[in-house]
Structure 1
Amino acid sequence: MYVHSSEKGNTTCYPALNQITDNPFPLWKDHSKDASLLTLASGILSDEQFYMIFLFLIYTSQLINNCAIIANSLSIAVFVKLGFSEPSNISLTALAICDLTLAVLYTWNNLCFLLTYHNVRLPFHAVNVTALTGGAQWAFLSSTVAWITAFISFERCLCILFPLKVRRLITPRGTFVAMLIIILLTFCPSFFIFIRYKFVWVFNPYLNITILNTIPVNNEMAILFENFATVICGVIQPLLAFTIMLICTVLLVVQLRKISSWRMSVTSAKSQRVQPEENPAAHSSAAEARTSQKEERLVRMVVAMATMFIMSYIPTCIGLICYVVFDEYNLFGVYRKLLFLFGHITSLGQPISGSVNILIYYNMASKFRSVFRRLVRLDRQEQET
């Protein structure tokens, strides 16, 4: 099979990146020079087992993605109605937008794979084209979600460490700028992939049609951009964000226990007073207790979000470490089947986390719950009944 490229009236033919056969999900050719490793890898998972598990993961992930699309769309609508005077609303809205985009990108990948599997002739190579138009963006956007979640946790830590200065440290404008910087440094490098690979039209003799495919651009600059985007932005940045989030979550949990103990002591002291209205200090203590209770709910919400994301992101971190440590654990190595399946298994955590966030907001944020109920008209239904 050959790729045909026309420039200034001249036609050039050269071998395509992948041979396209009747196989609905063509796997890449083995490039390993280790025969024993190749034999071991081929015995781990047969093609039939691979396709069976892969299809199950596609249908399962799409069901979860549908829930994530609905949940994050509702979250964005609620935050828009709440307004952006609070910095936390800006960061939570950015998180919901990223989660929604992740679900849409994953839906695009699943749709193309399923159509190809059911012998629907697509005008492009499903695996290769979706890897550039959905897979790469999904991987880098997952890093963006990790950094936004880490920023939210770090913001709560600042509120605890510097309660009197936090209003000057964390402002709506500053939070908006921080979200833009995070997106610029984590998601935008995903477009470096288009420097390394380009789209070409390929004639497929098995189907007797010309389809869109991708080929690598083999020059030093393109390879340098790909290595930078993969190692720095695709591996180091997510692991660093995960570490920051883990540290901030631990600090928040410790502080949450201190706040709970302090609030219980204030409540106990207040209940022991016979006539609290005659003591001005009692009113001050009561006000501090109410403020502490609000802060506690907000901290609990952030801890729940971060904990959910950490649990769902641990398998992804394991996959990133394997990608760096094992040379054959890549799209062209002998462990490509395991990479494909493990990648889909780990990617299930992201839409699950995005779907659960709205439940966390609803249970722990009274303003969110009130606006959400008005948005879906639950209050009106209760009044009519």
Structure 2
Amino acid sequence: MTLNVTQPSQELDNVLSPSMGGDLISGAQLYFILLSIVALTQVISLGGVITNLINIAVFVKLGFNETSNISLLTLALCDLLSTILTIWGTLCITPGFSDAELPFLPTEIAQLTGAGLSMFVLRCTAWVTAFISFERCLCILIPLKVKKWVTPKTTTAVVVTISIATIGPYIGVYWRWIFVWKFLPGRNATVLGVTVVNTPVLILKDKVSNIVLGLIQPTVAFVTVLVCTVFLVVYLRRSSQWRKSMASAGGEKAGGDNSSRFEPKQNISRKEEKVVRLVTSIAAIFIVCYTPNTVMHLNMAIFPSFSLFGQHRNTFLMIYLVSVFANSVSASVNIFIYYNMGTRYRNALRLMFHLDSEDPVK
């Protein structure tokens, strides 16, 4: 099927033009922001591809006897896919690349093969992070029962379900957005692009999916991570205070017979505390980096003009670019947390690069 260039092709091309006005952010400002953020995002994402490949190799080497390794491996796989899609998506909107006479329209193709899919992968990351945080909270509250409930098999089942439930619905995007061949009069050439199929049923499905998948689903995951992180931070503070009181008492139990049952039960294992600190650090970075994405989707739900084709499209694009940059940072820095806080991870990594001979599996 061949179409003349109509919507949304012209809008997608013009939305990146530096001459646009009538917004809180001028076209010239947006153009400068685009060039700056895209360059930084591509560099960080390239580093993220390398660090996540290392993370995957290390977790595979450590094995899957511990449920945390399964969850963190899934997180690394999501981050790897996210960084690859980010590199491709930002490349498609880079002026030098998008203006080239390619056999496809980069800014359109990126909607289905880059930016759109990366948002669904990001939701998978959000829910995996929520699961990791929630599991650690349960380990603190009901440690004996959690060991029976959360096994390698159940953890695998949970992360697979999360992946299917968050990334799987992306197939529904192709209900309305389809690949077509378009004729460009200016180039006298036919290239691959994207068009929108507007039928009442598909429009309704799109609106429902935007509310459920674009707003409710990621917001619930974000709130879950936030609440669990606050709980873990409180736990870490109480744990630290309890250890200090134990040290000052010369090894005697702090508080005598009136001490809270929470404290001794929570503080007998330093290994557990290290895991909590690791999970808290991962969750905290996720919260900071995911906030621009949450703000963007909330504004899209509240203000109809805040969209790619709305009156405030420049502001939308700026926040979108900031969220893409923040997400690339979040997907790239976990290796530093694992290395600094995870002894077995650090030993496995050093062994992998022949920095020492210690066996991390023992």
- Same topology, TM > 0.5: yes
2:34 and 2:5 mapped to 1: Cα distance? Answer: 29
Match of 2:172 among 185, 192, 201: 192
Query: Which residue number corresponds to residue 229 of structure 1?
Result: 209
1:46–1:260 CA distance, 2 compared to 1 (3 A): closer
Query: CA separation in 2, counterparts of 1:291 and 1:207?
Result: 71
Q: Offset of 1:14 from its aligned partner?
A: 6.4
Residue of structure 1 equivalent to 2:325 = 348
**What is the aligned partner in structure 1 of residue 29 from structure 2?**
49
Q: Does the Cα contact within 8 Å between 2:5 and 2:183 map onto a contact in 1? A: no
Q: Aligned partners of 2:97 and 2:22: how far apart in 1?
A: 22
Note the residue ranges of structure 1 that are not aligned, 5 or more in a row.
Answer: 6-12, 30-38, 274-287, 381-385
Deviations 1:35-86 (A, max 9, x none): xxxx9x6153333332222111110110111121111111111000000111
Is 2:94 the counterpart of 1:114? Answer: yes
- Aligned equivalents of 2:78 and 2:248: distance in 1? 44
Deviation at 1:224, TM superposition (A): 2.6
Shift of residue 251, structure 1, vs aligned partner: 1.0
Aligned residues between the structures: 345
Indicate yes or no: 2:127 matched with 1:179: no
Give 1:259 shift.
Answer: 2.4
Give the letter for the 2:80 counterpart: L
1:123–1:211 Cα contact (<8 Å) kept: yes
Percent of aligned pairs sharing the same letter: 38
Root mean square deviation of aligned Cα: 2.6
One-letter code aligned to 1:344? L
Distance 1:181 1:46, change over 3 A: same
43 and 110 in structure 1: CA distance in 2 versus 1, 3 angstrom threshold: closer
Q: What TM-score does the superposition give when structure 1 sets the normalisation length? A: 0.83
Distance of 1:118 and 1:240 partners within structure 2: 36
| Cα separation, 1, equivalents of 2:95 and 2:267 | 56
Q: Which moved more, 1:97-106 or 1:353-362?
A: 353-362
Amino acid at match of 1:166: V
Cα drift, residue 116 of structure 1: 4.6
Matching of residues 81-230 of structure 1 within 5 Å = 81-114=61-94, 116-117=96-97, 119-230=99-210
CA 1:182–1:118 in structure 2 vs 1: closer, same or farther (change >3 Å)? closer
Q: Please tell me whether Structure 1 or Structure 2 has the larger radius of gyration of its CA atoms.
A: 1
How far residue 137 of structure 1 moved from its aligned partner, in angstroms, is 0.7
Q: 1:226: Cα distance to partner?
A: 1.7
Amino acid at match of 1:183: S
Report the counterpart of residue 17 of structure 1 in structure 2. 7
Q: Distance in 2 between matches of 1:159 and 1:178?
A: 17
Match of 1:79 among 59, 65, 71: 59
Provide, for residues 185-233 of structure 1, a one-character-per-residue CA deviation record: whole Å limited to 9, x for no partner.
2111122111111111011111121111111111223223322322111
Which of 298, 303, 309 in structure 2 is aligned with 1:332?
309
1:304 equivalent among 281, 293, 312: 281
Query: What is the Cα deviation at residue 115 of structure 1?
Result: 6.7
Q: Which amino acid aligns with 2:7?
A: L
Deviation at 1:112, TM superposition (A): 2.3
Are 1:260 and 1:296, in contact at CA under 8 Å, matched by a contact in 2? no
